[in-house]
Amino acid sequence: MEALRLIWDETFTKYDFGDAHPMSPIRLELTARLVRDLGLLAHAGVHVHGVDPVGDEILMTVHDPGFVEAVKAASVRPPRLDEAHGLGTEDVPVFEGMHEASARIVGGTLDLARAVWQREAAHGVNFAGGMHHAMPDHASGFCVYNDSAVAIRALLDEGAERVCYIDIDVHHGDGVERVFWDDPRVLTISLHETGRVLFPGTGFPGDFGGPAAPGSVVNLAFPPGTSDAPWLRGFHAVVPQLVRAFDPQILVTQHGCDSHSLDPLAHMVLSLDCQVESYRVLHELAHEVCDGRWVAVGGGGYELVDVVPRAWAHLVGIAAHHPVPPETLVPSAWRDYVEQRFGRQAPRRMTDGKDVSYRPWTAGHDPEDAVDHAVLSTRKAVFPLHGLDPWSD
Ligand SMILES: [Zn+2]
Ligand SMILES: [Zn+2]
Is residue 367's pLDDT more than 90?
no
Q: How far is the CA of 170 from the centre of ligand 1 (A)?
A: 5
Contact status, residue 255 vs residue 298, Cβ threshold 8 Å: yes
Query: How many CB atoms within 10 Å of residue 353?
Result: 10
Q: How far is the CA of 8 from the centre of ligand 1 (A)?
A: 21
Q: How far is the CA of 292 from the centre of ligand 2 (A)?
A: 6
pLDDT tens profile 87-114? 999 999 999 999 999 999 999 999 999 9
Is omega for the bond preceding 200 within 30 degrees of 0, making it cis?
A: yes
- The rounded distance, in Å, linking the Cα atoms of 378 and 20 is 37
SS3 370: helix
Task: Give the DSSP per-residue string, 91-140.
Answer: SS---TTHHHHHHHHHHHHHHHHHHHHTTSEEEEEETT---TT--SS--B
Q: Is the dihedral of CA 389, 293, 227, 131 positive or negative?
A: negative
Q: Cα torsion at 288, 308, 85, 177 (round to 10°)?
A: 20
- The rounded distance, in Å, linking the Cα atoms of 4 and 33 is 17
- Residues 41, 45, 48: CA angle, nearest 5 degrees: 50
Q: What does the DSSP 8-state code read for residue 15?
A: -
Nearest Cα to Cα of residue 133 among 101, 102, 108: 102
pLDDT band at 46 (very low <50, low <70, confident <90, very high): very high
* Mean pLDDT value of segment 334-343: 97
pLDDT tens profile 161-203? 999 999 999 999 999 999 999 999 999 999 999 999 999 999 9
pLDDT band at 393 (very low <50, low <70, confident <90, very high): confident
CATH 3.30.230.10 for domain 2-386:
no
Q: Where are the domains of the chain?
A: 2-386
Please name the amino acid found at residue 25.
P
Q: Where are the beta strands (DSSP E) in the chain?
A: 2-7, 46-49, 121-126, 163-167, 186-193, 217-222, 250-254, 294-297
* Mean pLDDT value of segment 72-80: 95
How far is CA 9 from each of CA 51, 97, 105, rounded to the nearest angstrom? Answer: 8, 16, 11
- The rounded distance, in Å, linking the Cα atoms of 323 and 283 is 11
Q: Which residues contact 353 (CB under 8 A, 6 or more apart)?
A: 273
At residue 100, the pLDDT reads 98
**What is the biggest distance separating any 2 CA atoms in the chain, rounded to whole angstroms?**
61
Helix axes 228-246, 370-382, angle to 10 degrees: 10
Is omega for the bond preceding 78 within 30 degrees of 0, making it cis?
A: yes
At residue 392, the pLDDT reads 87
Please name the amino acid found at residue 30.
L
Taking the CA of 302 as reference, the closest ligand is 1
pLDDT tens profile 291-331? 999 999 999 999 999 999 999 999 999 999 999 999 999 99
Nearest Cα to Cα of residue 27 among 353, 314, 332, 298: 298
Q: How far is the CA of 256 from the centre of ligand 1 (A)?
A: 6
Q: How far is the CA of 305 from the centre of ligand 2 (A)?
A: 27
Nearest Cα to Cα of residue 307 among 269, 343, 280, 250: 269
CA atoms within 13 A of residue 352's CA, in its CB half-sphere: 21
At residue 290, the pLDDT reads 98
Total count of residues recorded for the chain: 393
pLDDT tens profile 215-274? 999 999 999 999 999 999 999 999 999 999 999 999 999 999 999 999 999 999 999 999
Average predicted confidence (pLDDT) for the chain: 98
Q: What percent of the chain has pLDDT over 90?
A: 99
- The rounded distance, in Å, linking the Cα atoms of 26 and 32 is 10
Q: How far is the CA of 390 from the centre of ligand 2 (A)?
A: 30
At residue 162, the pLDDT reads 98
pLDDT tens profile 50-67? 999 999 999 999 999 999
Taking the CA of 299 as reference, the closest ligand is 1
CA atoms within 13 A of residue 98's CA, in its CB half-sphere: 28
At residue 39, the pLDDT reads 98
Taking the CA of 141 as reference, the closest ligand is 1
Q: How far is the CA of 308 from the centre of ligand 2 (A)?
A: 22
Q: How far is the CA of 121 from the centre of ligand 2 (A)?
A: 11
Taking the CA of 122 as reference, the closest ligand is 2
At residue 13, the pLDDT reads 98
